[in-house]
Structure 1
Amino acid sequence: MKLWEKGIPVNEAIEKFTVGKDRELDLYLAPYDILGSMAHVTMLESVGLIEKEELPVLLEALKKLYRQAADGNFKIENGVEDVHSQVEFLLTKELGDLGKKIHSGRSRNDQVLIDLKLFTRDAIKGIVLSVEQVIETLLAKSEENKDVLMPGYTHLQVAMPSSFGLWFGAYAESLADDLELLLSAFKIVNQNPLGSAAGYGSSFPLNRQMTTDLLGFSNLNYNVVYAQMGRGKMEKIVSFALANIAGTLSKLAFDVCLFNSQNFNFVSLPPEFTTGSSIMPHKKNPDVFELIRGKCNKIQGVPNQITSVVNNLPSGYFRDLQEVKELFLPLFSELDNCLSVAGLALGKIVVNKNILSEEKYNYLFSVDEVNRLVVEGIPFREAYKQVSEKIGKGEFEPVKEVVHTHEGSIGNLCLDKISAKKTQVIEAYRFERMEKAINKLLS
């Protein structure tokens, strides 16, 4: 079944090529297509395009389909082109001509737009909750190890004293900032495109504010041409925000792999979190973090792939946009999986508490020695020269006591402030608004 069929069969090879993976990918969108249809038919009744007594019949049938989709039992049958066609086919099969009324005032163009927006809103919520759990794990590990010193590096050269409190806390705050960028993307997502039809509106007196409220959107995509132009743009913006989170995870994973190596020996993983070698019996490989790094690096390439598809398209709809689905829809589950495994493994990391006892780390304390001399009244440049001369002559004796008190330093990690930053940004998403609207629509 095709919503656009005119009785002329399409060449079999052309049909296979143009449908592509739509049937498979549209299963991601099935519950959201049904929710969009529920809001749309409710609005159609309000403007007189569906009879009052027809609306509850349609809504009940759509709710039944929604439950199937939510339970994973919705299927797109062979010969049916996409999720939109399948929903209309099933409604028509059950309700006859009444099922054929639901497409009035819309196009598959704004149907897929609303499906993608609703799917992405929910998927972002899942990512935010997963990031929050990783942040909480990192903050707990930071507090637990706040007094354990470790080397800090610049240029991969021993630089200044750091601590595991600083290291864990750094990634917690990085992820909190990543949620800020994702919030900006979420605001772009959380605008209703329904009613833009094929990108040029409708001669029907549609009430677009009504569907906006029914679906819990914070705003409308007002201009109908721009609503269609948002296809591809929205996915690109969101994928950049997700890539930012993946970038933080990838950097963290690289650190763990480096610090876990025998040459560093800063951290270790329990045996059950490592893998072995087929010929080297001593190996305990941090494969979990290597795979997090690899998967997150792959995720960071997706924005460029989406950009390559959409960057030279003029206004209006083009079938090229179908390719974006294949890149975009699986992105959330891949990143969420990385976040889940990262949080689990980070909670089990054991830190080496005696790293700085090794002589090779003595020079970490040279800056603190310079600063001590400055406090005694020696000009900084002169103090720097004195310590440098001692190092050159092999006479430098470090004082391995670190007194850093300013905000964000070893002695003042500001973990409560980082936690507050995380909480504040998550509250700004206002997920409860969209949840309340959807629950009301389904009740």
Structure 2
Amino acid sequence: MKLWEKGITVDEAIEKFTVGKDRELDVYLAPFDILGSMAHVTMLESVGLIEKAELPVLLDALKKLYKKAVDGEFKIEQDVEDVHSQVEFLLTRDLGDLGKKIHSGRSRNDQVLLDLKLFIRESIREVVAETGQLIDTLLSKSEQHKDVLMPGYTHLQVAMPSSFGLWFGAYAESLTDDLELLSSAFKIANQNPLGSAAGYGSSFPLNRQMTTDLLGFNNMNYNVVYAQMGRGKVEKIVSFALANIAATLSKLAYDVCLFNSQNFSFVSLPPEFTTGSSIMPHKKNPDVFELIRGKCNKIQGIPQQIALTINNLPSGYFRDLQVVKEIFLPMFGELDDCLSIANLALGKLKVNENILDDARYDYLFSVEEVNKLVLQGIPFREAYKQVAADIEAGSFRPDKSVNHTHEGSIGNLCIGKIAEKKEGIVRNYHFEKMDDAIRNLLA
């Protein structure tokens, strides 16, 4: 059975091709589809499209389905097209004609829009939590190793003194900015499309503000045509923000792989966090960070895939958008896995505290020597030439102490300021508003 069936049997190959992965992927959306139906029927009762006595019966049945969905027991049957159809068929099976009333004033178009928005909100919350934990770990490692110097590089050439405090803290602040960008994507997603129906509204006297409030949205997509046009656009915006987190993780993973190699030996992983070789008994490979790098690079390609799918579509709904769902929905789980395993592995990462004992890093301190001469009154360009001449003559002998005090430098990492910045950004998501709304809806 299909909601749109008119007595004509669809060719089996055509049906298989057009359904695609909807049954598999719509399981992601099942809890959110049910929540949306609860808000929708509550609104329908308020405008007289459902009897007062019918509402508690529908809500009770929907709450039972929601529990099944949350517990992983909700299934989309083989002859059912999608999650929207499955929910309606289950209600009709249990409640008879009453179950058929829930579709009044809706289309599957605005249902899937709503499901995606609710899914995105909850999934972003999980990414924010995982990212926040990783930031905390990085800041803790930054504090722990703030006095351990390491080489800084430009052009992959030894450049100036850095520290593990700076290195860990840099990625913490980078992820903090990534959360700021994600918060903008969250705000764009956190707008209610329900009531836009197939993209042109409904002749029923719907109360869209009521469903907006019931589901804890910040506001609604007011224009019903734009609500439908937002399908694909929202996924592209959100995927771009997630890809920025993935880019930071990928760069971090590359650093760890590089620094873990014998030619650097800056860091090491415990043996239980590495893998071996089938023929080389000495190998301890950082596969975990290589896979984080590979998976995060894959994630960074998703915004482009979505853009290429939607960028030549006119206004209105098209089935091309089904392909976007297949690309987009698994993205959150993949990124969450990378964030979680990176947090675990970085927590166990060991730092070599004696890197700069090696004479190959002596020239790191050339700028420090130039600056000392400048403080003695020698013009900078003259001091630069003097130190350069000592290096060429082989007479350069560095003082390996570093005294940096300005904000964000080796001696003043501003760890607390980065932590404050992160906490402020996380608070501004206002997840509590959607939590309160969903809690009240399920009460």
Q: Distance in 1 between matches of 2:63 and 2:286?
A: 46
SS in 2 for 1:319: coil
The answer to whether residue 15 in structure 2 is matched with residue 15 in structure 1 is: yes
Q: Distance in 2 between matches of 1:283 and 1:398?
A: 36
Residue 204 (structure 1) shift: 0.4
Q: Distance in 1 between matches of 2:93 and 2:265?
A: 66
- Please tell me the residue identity of whatever aligns with 2:437: A
Alignment match, 2:119? 119
Alignment match, 2:84? 84
For residues 46-125 of structure 1, what are the structure 2 equivalents within 5 Å? Answer: 46-125=46-125
- Please tell me the residue identity of whatever aligns with 1:232: G
Q: Distance in 2 between matches of 1:78 and 1:149?
A: 61
Alignment match, 2:255? 255
SS in 2 for 1:367: helix
Give the alignment's TM-score, normalised by structure 1: 1.00
Alignment match, 1:372? 372
Residue 361 (structure 1) shift: 0.3
Q: Distance in 2 between matches of 1:95 and 1:360?
A: 79
Alignment match, 2:305? 305
Residue 164 (structure 1) shift: 0.2
SS in 1 for 2:152: strand
The answer to whether residue 258 in structure 2 is matched with residue 270 in structure 1 is: no
Alignment match, 2:202? 202
Residue 126 (structure 1) shift: 0.2
The answer to whether residue 300 in structure 2 is matched with residue 290 in structure 1 is: no
Alignment match, 2:39? 39
Q: Distance in 2 between matches of 1:196 and 1:379?
A: 69
SS in 1 for 2:237: helix
Give a deviation string over 1:369-413, Cα, whole Å, max 9, x none: 101111111111111011111111111110101000000000000
Q: Distance in 2 between matches of 1:231 and 1:395?
A: 66
Give the alignment's TM-score, normalised by structure 2: 1.00
Q: Distance in 2 between matches of 1:419 and 1:387?
A: 39
Residue 62 (structure 1) shift: 0.3
Alignment match, 1:181? 181
Q: Distance in 1 between matches of 2:397 and 2:13?
A: 78
Residue 78 (structure 1) shift: 1.3
Alignment match, 1:345? 345
- Please tell me the residue identity of whatever aligns with 1:324: V
The answer to whether residue 408 in structure 2 is matched with residue 408 in structure 1 is: yes
**Runs of 4 or more off by more than 2 Å in structure 1?**
none
Q: Distance in 2 between matches of 1:166 and 1:378?
A: 30
Give a deviation string over 1:112-154, Cα, whole Å, max 9, x none: 0000000010000000000000000000000000000000000
Root mean square deviation of aligned Cα: 0.4
SS in 1 for 2:230: helix
| Identity value in percent | 79
Q: Distance in 1 between matches of 2:111 and 2:92?
A: 18
Alignment match, 2:172? 172
Alignment match, 1:211? 211
SS in 2 for 1:158: strand
Alignment match, 1:334? 334
- Please tell me the residue identity of whatever aligns with 1:6: K
Give a deviation string over 1:25-71, Cα, whole Å, max 9, x none: 00000000000000000000000000000000000000000000000
Q: Distance in 1 between matches of 2:392 and 2:303?
A: 49
Alignment match, 1:132? 132
SS in 2 for 1:161: strand
Alignment match, 2:245? 245
Q: Distance in 2 between matches of 1:245 and 1:401?
A: 35
Q: Distance in 2 between matches of 1:260 and 1:170?
A: 18
Q: Distance in 1 between matches of 2:201 and 2:116?
A: 19
The answer to whether residue 396 in structure 2 is matched with residue 424 in structure 1 is: no
Alignment match, 1:323? 323
Q: Distance in 1 between matches of 2:358 and 2:64?
A: 67
Residue 265 (structure 1) shift: 0.4
Alignment match, 1:153? 153
Give a deviation string over 1:312-349, Cα, whole Å, max 9, x none: 10100000000001100000000000000000000000
Alignment match, 1:28? 28
Q: Distance in 2 between matches of 1:20 and 1:405?
A: 59
SS in 2 for 1:153: strand
Q: Distance in 1 between matches of 2:407 and 2:315?
A: 49
SS in 2 for 1:69: helix
Q: Distance in 1 between matches of 2:392 and 2:441?
A: 75
Q: Distance in 1 between matches of 2:109 and 2:425?
A: 33
Q: Distance in 2 between matches of 1:171 and 1:133?
A: 13
- Please tell me the residue identity of whatever aligns with 2:279: I
Q: Distance in 2 between matches of 1:173 and 1:108?
A: 41
SS in 2 for 1:429: coil
Number of aligned residue pairs: 443
Give a deviation string over 1:215-256, Cα, whole Å, max 9, x none: 000011000000000000000000000000000000000000
- Please tell me the residue identity of whatever aligns with 1:157: Q
SS in 1 for 2:320: helix
The answer to whether residue 163 in structure 2 is matched with residue 163 in structure 1 is: yes
- Please tell me the residue identity of whatever aligns with 2:200: Y
- Please tell me the residue identity of whatever aligns with 1:152: G
- Please tell me the residue identity of whatever aligns with 2:210: M
Q: Distance in 2 between matches of 1:45 and 1:405?
A: 65
Structure 2 portions without partners, runs of 5+: none
